[in-house]
């Protein structure tokens, strides 16, 4: 049978985000994959060079809608190291709590998406309802569900009250019970086993060779986790374990994420129970001395790297963001080879791709004066007139 | 996990193909030239047992373009290999054959900085949209959008 090119995307079957693959298939078997990532690039790295350290954090936070805390933490900790700032312990604990809550909600979200990809929508509904408890906790602590806005250079912006700590501690045991149920389901539920086992296999050698990161790599037995290997925040003081698996398929990636859910719940509980007293921030200088740093962070999807260069002013000279999804594409392209076309959604979803992270450049077209942004008031006026006038404008 | 590598060990292994310095307790930075990058990467892979490419960072320092390859291994040290390229004709041999994850980063850097990776025939756009104009490299310091240029998207009037 001749080879056929099957275009997939830019609207990916698994996600509500754009990515474009050209899958070269022979019958139902995948031969090769061509990637075109950025359908919608936003220019965050360029824009970050124009903003001072106070104004740049909200921008960095918006690199991603799920790992928003990851991006600000990795950036702030890089800048703080360049400024040689010592961050109060309480602030570090609060950052860790938010970071691990973020991991929990992200992994629960992923489990739901993966279940949805194989048509198991009951599990999707269950995990997402549990995720709401985590979102509620995050909202109580930070005031927000998505962009928490907790970080600033020098510490965190909001303190935790005893009521917030207690509310979170009450929810954790319930969540733990639910996650145990998912552990049991993933290991025994037939629908999951049939669709996950042996799918999208990646050996340890391949995972290393193609630079897979995070749960994708750890599911193939690659024992890398930045939280242990290059400790930051309070991970060196908290009891927890790196979760690895030897299956190397979608099943293994699920087991790693489920295992990490349990570990993260443990970390959050430890941090909440041992939250030290003290200030939550120090005053940071306006400018950072000239220097460069490679700041590493274990985001829910894998290792996140910010390469930051400062030039003695209050702005960065360059921030180079390498997101885990970008690192994982090479391995996805490899593990799709020889797989069935119908397994594309779940294999791609198994790395938990985050495309908004990966796309960061925008296109500004100013050749046409009529083209441009509509501001909120104009937009509102349009809708108002639509509802007020008898005819639609 | 094996013992962390030391600066002296790195200096002994890479010899004269680059100069090494310790910039942080777990970071070593090697400075080299574009012509020697493949040798350095091979030495770092084989002699310093770095099996993992973290990323290739690119930066424009105004005078030259810089590439920094960050590698790590089971010793958990990050070895960064830095080199500078002239702005007018930035070219460097590709490392994607000896370091497969470099492939996607090289395409990204080619898009954003216009650095040519010699020996690659597949440097097509990956990060920028396909109708982005040629020879416009948005992350260079001197780049600014030109009002007369079409940067992709929908042409003409938008409602």
Q: Could you give all domains of chain A from N- to C-terminal order, each with its CATH number?
A: 3-38+362-388 (no CATH), 44-350 (1.10.645.10)
Q: How far is CA B110 from the centre of its chain?
A: 10
> DSSP string spanning A69-91?
HHHHHHHHHHHHHHHTPPPPHHH
Number of CB pairs, chain A paired with chain B, less than 8 A apart: 103
The reply to whether B107 falls in a domain is no
pTM exceeds 0.90, yes or no: no
The whole-number pLDDT of residue B9 equals 79
Question: For the CA atoms of chain B, what is the radius of gyration?
Answer: 18
Phi and psi at residue B108, to the nearest 5°: -65, -45
The reply to whether B124 falls in a domain is no
Is pLDDT of A13 > 80?
no
The reply to whether B30 falls in a domain is yes
Is pLDDT of A300 > 50?
yes
Is pLDDT of A116 > 80?
yes
Give me the mean pLDDT over the A180-196 stretch: 89
Q: Do B147 and A210 touch (CB under 8 A)?
A: no
Domains held by chain B: number: 1
Q: Which residue range forms the structural domain that includes residue B80? A: 7-90
CB A35 within 8 A of CB A210: no
Question: How far, in Å, CA of A210 to CA of A31, rounded?
Answer: 18
Query: What DSSP state is assigned to residue A11?
Result: B
Q: Mutate which of A211, A236, A364, A374 to disrupt the B interface (most B C-beta within 10 Å)?
A: A211
The reply to whether B54 falls in a domain is yes
**Cβ-based burial of A147 (10 A; exposed 0-12, middle 13-18, buried ≥19):** middle
Angle at B141 between CA B138 and CA B145, to 5 degrees: 45
Neighbours of A270 (CB within 10 A): 19
Burial readout A50-74 (b: 16 or more C-beta within 10 A, e: otherwise): ebebeebbebbbbbbebbbbbbbbb
> What's the pLDDT tens digit per position in A85-110?
999 999 999 999 999 999 999 999 98
C-alpha distance from A289 to closest chain B C-alpha (Å): 15
Question: For the CA atoms of chain A, what is the radius of gyration?
Answer: 22
Q: How far is CA A174 from the centre of its chain?
A: 24
Query: What DSSP state is assigned to residue A333?
Result: H
Tell whether B60 is within 8 A of chain A (Cβ): yes
Which one, of A260, A104, A258, A267, lies nearest residue A181 by Cα? Answer: A258
Is pLDDT of A177 > 70?
yes
Tell whether B123 is within 8 A of chain A (Cβ): no
> What's the pLDDT tens digit per position in B54-99?
999 999 988 899 999 999 888 888 889 999 999 888 999 999 888 8
**pLDDT tens, chain B, 159 aa long:** 566 777 777 777 777 777 878 777 888 888 988 988 998 888 888 888 888 899 999 999 888 999 999 998 888 888 899 999 998 889 999 998 888 888 889 988 998 999 999 998 888 888 887 788 888 888 888 888 888 888 877 776 655
Rounded mean pLDDT of chain A?
Answer: 83
The whole-number pLDDT of residue A390 equals 53
> CATH number for the domain including B19?
3.30.460.80
Higher pLDDT, B69 or A330: B69
The whole-number pLDDT of residue A298 equals 92
State yes or no: cis peptide before A130, omega within 30 of 0: no
The reply to whether B116 falls in a domain is no
Is pLDDT of A382 > 70?
no
Is pLDDT of A297 > 80?
yes
The whole-number pLDDT of residue A163 equals 92
Neighbours of A95 (CB within 10 A): 25
Phi and psi at residue A154, to the nearest 5°: 115, -5
Which one, of A351, A328, A297, lies nearest residue A100 by Cα? Answer: A297
Find the CB nearest B57 among A38, A43, A307: A307
The reply to whether B142 falls in a domain is no
Task: Identify the helix (H) or strand (E) that includes residue B65.
Answer: strand B64-73
The reply to whether B49 falls in a domain is yes
The reply to whether B129 falls in a domain is no
> What's the pLDDT tens digit per position in A21-66?
777 878 788 888 777 776 667 788 888 988 999 899 999 998 888 8
């Amino acid at each position: 049978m001749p080879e056929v090119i099957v275009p997939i995307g830019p609207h990916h079957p698994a996600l509500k985000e754009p990515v474009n693959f050209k899958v070269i298939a022979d019958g139902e078997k995948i031969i090769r994959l061509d990637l075109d990532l950025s359908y919608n690039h936003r220019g965050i790295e360029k824009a970050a060079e124009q903003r001072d350290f106070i104004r740049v954090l909200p921008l960095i936070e918006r690199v991603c809608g799920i790992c928003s805390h990851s991006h600000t933490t990795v950036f702030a900790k890089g800048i703080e190291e360049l400024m040689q700032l010592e961050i109060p312990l309480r602030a570090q604990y609060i950052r860790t709590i938010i970071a691990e809550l973020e991991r929990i909600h992200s992994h629960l979200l992923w489990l739901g998406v993966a279940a949805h990809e194989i048509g198991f929508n009951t599990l999707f509904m269950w995990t997402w309802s549990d995720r709401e408890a985590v979102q509620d906790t995050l909202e109580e602590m930070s005031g927000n569900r998505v962009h928490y806005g907790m970080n600033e250079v020098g510490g965190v912006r909001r303190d935790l009250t005893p009521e917030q700590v207690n509310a979170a501690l009450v929810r954790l045991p319930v969540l733990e019970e639910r996650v145990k149920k998912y552990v049991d389901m993933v290991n025994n539920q037939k629908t999951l086993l049939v669709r996950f086992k042996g799918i999208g296999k990646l050996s340890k050698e391949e995972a290393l060779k193609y630079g897979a990161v995070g749960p994708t790599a750890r599911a193939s037995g690659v024992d890398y986790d930045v939280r242990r290997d290059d400790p930051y925040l309070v991970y060196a003081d908290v009891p927890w374990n790196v979760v690895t698996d030897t299956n190397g398929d979608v099943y293994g990636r699920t087991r790693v994420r489920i295992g990490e859910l349990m570990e993260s719940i443990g970390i959050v509980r430890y941090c909440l129970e041992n939250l030290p007293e003290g200030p939550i921030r120090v005053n940071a200088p306006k400018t950072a001395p000239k220097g460069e740093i490679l700041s590493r962070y274990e985001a829910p999807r894998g290792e996140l790297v910010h390469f930051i260069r400062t030039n003695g002013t209050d702005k960065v000279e360059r921030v180079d963001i390498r997101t885990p999804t970008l690192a994982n594409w090479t391995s996805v392209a490899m593990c799709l080879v020889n797989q069935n076309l119908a397994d594309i959604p779940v294999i791609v979803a198994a790395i938990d791709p985050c495309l908004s992270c990966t796309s960061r450049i925008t296109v500004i077209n100013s050749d046409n004066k009529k083209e441009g942004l509509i501001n909120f008031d104009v937009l509102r006026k349009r809708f108002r007139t639509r509802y007020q006038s008898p005819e639609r404008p | 996990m094996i013992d962390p590598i030391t600066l002296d060990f790195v200096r002994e292994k890479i010899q004269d193909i680059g100069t090494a310095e310790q910039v942080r307790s777990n970071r070593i930075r090697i400075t080299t030239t574009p012509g020697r990058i493949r040798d350095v990467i091979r030495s770092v892979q084989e002699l310093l047992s770095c099996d993992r490419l973290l990323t290739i960072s690119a930066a424009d320092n105004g005078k030259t373009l810089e590439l920094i390859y960050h590698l790590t291994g089971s010793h958990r040290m990050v070895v960064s290999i830095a080199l500078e390229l002239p702005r007018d004709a930035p070219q460097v041999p590709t490392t994607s054959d000896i370091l497969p994850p470099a492939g996607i980063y090289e395409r990204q850097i080619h898009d954003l900085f216009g650095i040519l990776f010699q020996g690659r025939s597949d440097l097509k756009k990956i990060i920028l949209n396909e109708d982005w104009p040629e020879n416009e490299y948005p992350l260079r310091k001197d780049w600014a959008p030109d009002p007369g240029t079409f940067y992709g998207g929908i042409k003409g009037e938008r409602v």
